[in-house]
Structure 1
């Protein structure tokens, strides 16, 4: 089917692609498309490259190891780690028991994020296992779960620690069990009580790795805490900014109100919107927590933290639209979203070193604040996270307020230019239409009026000029009104006085 049949004007007056006049435009188009292609690929491929480098950096995950036993089981753990150590396995950092005199101090080290996790062997575990293999009451009371324990915090990058920490430590425990059997099996077999089922069970499966999870985070919605939640907040603020700009442009507030009042009301509107939006986001997280051990106080603090994050992002995007030329605003938005998300997609231990620039981004700070809230203080990074967030908030407030004065300044300049241009067009239109509507012929544009005294005197009626509006005058006023409406509709902001992203509102200003 030929589309030209339905759209005949689409192919009219189109030069050939080989036309000399078209060649410069064609080359310019290719150069611009290539430049934007490379920039977009750089922005989006950062996330892919980050995920591809994850496995090779797992050795940067440090795990504390404390051997309270000092016997065969601890030796088995060391032997197993020697075989499993690689760039794709966490680094086991052994420390003497004197530095961590009890398991509570180990939990404190993990809570204070000195280590991603900890593994310890219980005191006297090897002797208890040897006694259990011999049978009797020792075998009956033997506790497999009390031999070896790992301590970790699943709320801290839950999907990462599940695979990089929890699964690897479980594999290390199994490898240590095999190493223990191979190294001490010949010594144990002579003492094995084959008639005691409890002794046989202790020999075949000497221990089961126990887990102390500081904040269990197993709900399905945990996958979006450091990805979709942050992205939705960023996009939400961008579209809200577009509607706020549309509101101010539709009602021409920059040319009718004082800038300081505009700034105050604008911040009140943005604060209210982000207040409600962060409440909805927090409510969605809580609605799908599925038994997650978080309470009402954590709900409120999470809400306040997300409110701060949402509002500072509104201010940052507003600053982009104020101080950047409109063609660069979409690129700035993409860069802002991708940079923030990649700063929290994986922990910095699993990322190349240059990704540590993410310490200066608000998304990395807010995620650490949220982890600290959810795990009840077991992520003490507020000393830098909160200052980063407040710096963005304060600087954003200042630059956004200055931007209101900037927009008002250029809006007034543009209004003066538009008014002068419209006045010139109307004057030209009046001069063009005047010969049509006003002539010197008698009787046109005039009304005959006969007074009572003239009638009594038998005189002729007298002419009265210009006492009522004629039909041509009404048509001229309609043309002028139409011209003013068209001038208002064509008032597109220039690059210097642009209000940024601007979306039409579903309601219109009433005339």
Structure 2
């Protein structure tokens, strides 16, 4: 039987039209439904302080307090490491080993060695002991050490400082008192009183911040104490002499009035401020840069994993690509210093820059590999902690690196084993040509960190991949369940809307 509109009676057709007009079109019904839902949503919004939200507010308060507690603990812990490296530093000046060689220790023609004796007297005071650990040798003691190396006394002094057995030196030249007296009596203005009396040899390149902040200022304080004794030294020298006849010569007065200022010799001066970038601050940026690499490639690794490659090949890609990234980053990092004309030829000639690049590569591999491992572990446990990890890793590496470890509490001896400290020492050799004796140890430290980081990266990558895959499956199941629940809910609403 045909039930089309044409077969219906006219009155039935009219009634249908009236019903349709009363109910509205399907579009109008859907619009009405959406409007009603929107109104319900607006009307269902509650004040944050509504009684119905008490439990929710309580949960938020507790979560906020937990976050503050975590942040407070890590701020106190991490920054205390850095602040602690500076704590009571002045009380540890006595840990700075200083070499003192006094060759003015013999009576010459009845003249006492007043200059040598005055230096020894000053260094035996409590004030001097506060400023450094002064290892005092007389001429016979130190000449035996110099003879073993086939060097003169002063060359042996320079060698001891260059080999970093001492931070600085005070060298009182042989017969300094007698020679000064002869120069005064002869009115010899060509006689360099400072150079021929006391010389201080040091190398700023060993640690340019420490030298300028602690070492040379402390030696200068000893010099000030010595200068305050100059009047009595000259008086003692002139005892029994016919001063009227001697000082009748104006040149004799000039020589006697010449300052006994220590003659300073800087064996490795700091001459270019741009060196601060690669030799110090740049090492901090290096740690941060390796962390950026982890962030940038965090979207690439999942894409490779989804390509259904063999697990072993993916693992090789994961570790290998990380190492290649450090190689590329270290190249451009090293190029910046070359572009700003840092001289890399002092220690290794034309091979200086390749050595510098290789050092930066190993350093990035060491600190960056640990960053990768820590990043994956933190993502699995509590991702917001990544920032604090980076802060900790920087602070742990630099706290006692850019200052003498001898001036820090014993806790900071761990810095000798840290990758950034090793890289810092190597970089100073490359740029300043400081003592090379510790190169093997410092490269060994970097290689050890590289091995540890590579092993940990391999193991952690496997564990991280399994963990993330399990989470992805669980998330997919959760989304499917939410979709089905939503579908059932919407389907039920659609049925209820039927006339």
The answer to whether TM tops 0.5 is yes
- CA distances 1:349-389 after superposition (whole Å, capped 9, x unpaired): 11111111222321122112222333435163334322221
Q: 1:201 to 1:266 in 2, by over 3 A?
A: farther
Shift of 1:397: 1.0
- CA distances 1:302-351 after superposition (whole Å, capped 9, x unpaired): 22111110122221011112334233433322211111110313211111
Structure 2 partner of 1:309 = 363
Question: Is contact 1:67-1:97 (8 Å) kept?
Answer: no
Q: 1:188 to 1:297 in 2, by over 3 A?
A: farther
- CA distances 1:237-268 after superposition (whole Å, capped 9, x unpaired): 1111111112223x252552223323333444
Question: Is contact 1:358-1:364 (8 Å) kept?
Answer: yes
Q: How far, CA to CA, are the matches of 2:359 and 2:50 in structure 1?
A: 56
Structure 2 partner of 1:179 = 229
Q: How far, CA to CA, are the matches of 2:344 and 2:445 in structure 1?
A: 29
Aligned counterparts, 1:246-257, within 5 A: 246-249=299-302, 251-253=303-305, 256-257=308-309
Choose the corresponding residue for 1:278, options 326, 330, 354: 330
Please state if 1:114 is matched with 2:147. no
Choose the corresponding residue for 1:98, options 131, 143, 147: 143
Aligned counterparts, 1:119-158, within 5 A: 119-136=170-187, 138-142=188-192, 144-158=194-208
Question: Is contact 2:206-2:434 (8 Å) kept?
Answer: no
Q: How far, CA to CA, are the matches of 1:293 and 1:206 in structure 2?
A: 39
Q: Secondary structure at the match of 1:345?
A: coil
- CA distances 1:160-192 after superposition (whole Å, capped 9, x unpaired): 111312222233234223324314414427455
Q: 1:415 to 1:141 in 2, by over 3 A?
A: closer
Q: How far, CA to CA, are the matches of 1:196 and 1:279 in structure 2?
A: 67
Q: Which runs of 5+ in 2 are unaligned?
A: 1-40, 106-112, 147-152, 493-499
Q: How far, CA to CA, are the matches of 1:225 and 1:100 in structure 2?
A: 37
Structure 2 partner of 1:165 = 215
Q: How far, CA to CA, are the matches of 1:290 and 1:176 in structure 2?
A: 39
Q: Which runs of 5+ in 1 are unaligned?
A: 1-7, 436-511
Shift of 1:428: 8.7
Please state if 1:299 is matched with 2:353. yes
Q: 1:199 to 1:241 in 2, by over 3 A?
A: same
Shift of 1:154: 0.9
Q: How far, CA to CA, are the matches of 2:488 and 2:304 in structure 1?
A: 31
Q: Secondary structure at the match of 2:204?
A: coil
Please state if 1:326 is matched with 2:368. no
Q: How far, CA to CA, are the matches of 1:394 and 1:367 in structure 2?
A: 20
Q: 1:280 to 1:390 in 2, by over 3 A?
A: same
Structure 1 partner of 2:68 = 33
Q: Secondary structure at the match of 1:344?
A: coil
Structure 2 partner of 1:263 = 315
Q: 1:312 to 1:97 in 2, by over 3 A?
A: closer
Q: 1:100 to 1:69 in 2, by over 3 A?
A: farther
Structure 2 partner of 1:485 = none
Structure with the bigger percentage of helix: 2
- CA distances 1:218-250 after superposition (whole Å, capped 9, x unpaired): 33235455652122011111111111112223x
Please state if 1:76 is matched with 2:118. yes
Question: Is contact 1:73-1:126 (8 Å) kept?
Answer: yes
Q: Secondary structure at the match of 2:104?
A: coil
Structure 1 partner of 2:22 = none
Structure 1 partner of 2:405 = 348
Question: Is contact 2:315-2:458 (8 Å) kept?
Answer: yes
Shift of 1:197: 4.1
Q: 1:323 to 1:191 in 2, by over 3 A?
A: farther
Q: 1:321 to 1:293 in 2, by over 3 A?
A: closer
After TM superposition, the score normalised by the length of structure 1 is 0.73
Q: Secondary structure at the match of 1:236?
A: helix
Question: Is contact 2:345-2:352 (8 Å) kept?
Answer: no
Structure 1 partner of 2:127 = 85
Shift of 1:273: 3.1
Q: How far, CA to CA, are the matches of 1:88 and 1:418 in structure 2?
A: 65
Structure 2 partner of 1:61 = 96
RMSD, matched Cα: 3.4
Structure 1 partner of 2:58 = 23
Structure 2 partner of 1:386 = 443
Question: Is contact 2:209-2:403 (8 Å) kept?
Answer: no
Shift of 1:415: 5.3
Question: Is contact 2:128-2:222 (8 Å) kept?
Answer: no
Q: How far, CA to CA, are the matches of 1:254 and 1:59 in structure 2?
A: 61
Question: Is contact 1:112-1:378 (8 Å) kept?
Answer: yes
- CA distances 1:19-71 after superposition (whole Å, capped 9, x unpaired): 64223542442243134213212212332332242222112111010012212
- CA distances 1:65-124 after superposition (whole Å, capped 9, x unpaired): 001221221112123334572565122110233344311111121122111112111122
Structure 2 partner of 1:244 = 297
After TM superposition, the score normalised by the length of structure 2 is 0.75
